[in-house]
Amino acid sequence: MKVINQNIEIDGIDKTILRALMRDARTPILAIAKEVGVSGAAIHQRLRKLEASGIISGSKFVINPKVLGYTTMAFIGIYLDKAISNPQAVKQLKKIPEVLECHYTTGNWSIFIKILCKDNEHLMHVLNKEIQSIPGVSRTETFISLAQQIDRQIEI
């Protein structure tokens, strides 16, 4: 791995390591080492460098929300009465466990969020009782996802 003017250049070994871990974060280091043709210690050292560089920001297990009964995914554009309301609105949105993502955006909305609910009734409750009651929220626009077609990370 080379750092060039704050840009990180990764080589073929780094790419192989990253691709293996992106497929399955539980892939044993020795299996990756065998695939690459280097020692397990070399893979371990490269992983530490990739983590230190910020390319790898962690690993996690992915929970299947449908198994837990969460079947309604929605995206909500939130209109705020004033731009100064953004930090307070985000602070309140963080308290709502159904809110998975929150983005400041350009365009019509001040904030765009992704939420996950058990069903449409649950969505309506979160929207009417929790999100729209946040001070500064003037109105919302909701889009229900019918099916997720693509779910991936950036290609390495």
pLDDT tens, position by position, 132-150 = 999 999 999 999 999 999 9
pTM to 2 decimals? 0.83
What DSSP character marks residue 110? S
Stretches where the chain sits below pLDDT 70 are 1-6
Residues of the chain with CATH 3.30.70.920: 65-145
- Bridge partner residues of 101 (DSSP): 114
Radius of gyration of the chain (CA): 21
Name which CATH class applies to 2-53: mainly alpha
How many other β-carbons are positioned within 10 Å of the β-carbon of residue 115? 25
How many other β-carbons are positioned within 10 Å of the β-carbon of residue 111? 23
CATH architecture observed for domain 65-145: 2-Layer Sandwich (3.30)
Residues of the chain with CATH 1.10.10.10: 2-53
Q: Specify the pLDDT at position 4.
A: 54
Q: Specify the pLDDT at position 3.
A: 53
Q: Specify the pLDDT at position 84.
A: 83
Q: Specify the pLDDT at position 6.
A: 61
Q: Specify the pLDDT at position 9.
A: 83
Q: Specify the pLDDT at position 1.
A: 60
